[in-house]
Amino acid sequence: MTTKELLYIEDALGHEKYFQSKCKETASQLQDPELKNYVTQMAQKHQQIFQKFYGLL
């Protein structure tokens, strides 16, 4: 991989970790069970995306 490609992956990893943490934080504050479940699923999806990017390394 080139340096630029590695920097892109590093940036993408950071974004996915951020999105995951924000989804978890938001889900913990929600009262509506359906909405909380949806946001929790989003956090899990961002974790999966993170793992895929991490697997490229």
What pLDDT, in 10s, does the model give residues 22-49? 999 999 999 999 999 999 999 999 999 9
Cα angle 14, 4, 51 (rounded to 5 degrees) comes to: 35
From 56, 53, 50, select the one nearest 24 (Cα to Cα). Answer: 50
Please tell me the distance from the alpha carbon of residue 12 to that of residue 30, in angstroms, as a whole number. 27
Tokens standing for 51?
Answer: 């793992």
- pTM, two decimals, is 0.84
**Residue holding tokens 């999806």?**
45
**Residue holding tokens 């490229």?**
56
Q: What's the chain's average pLDDT? A: 94
Cα angle 49, 18, 29 (rounded to 5 degrees) comes to: 110
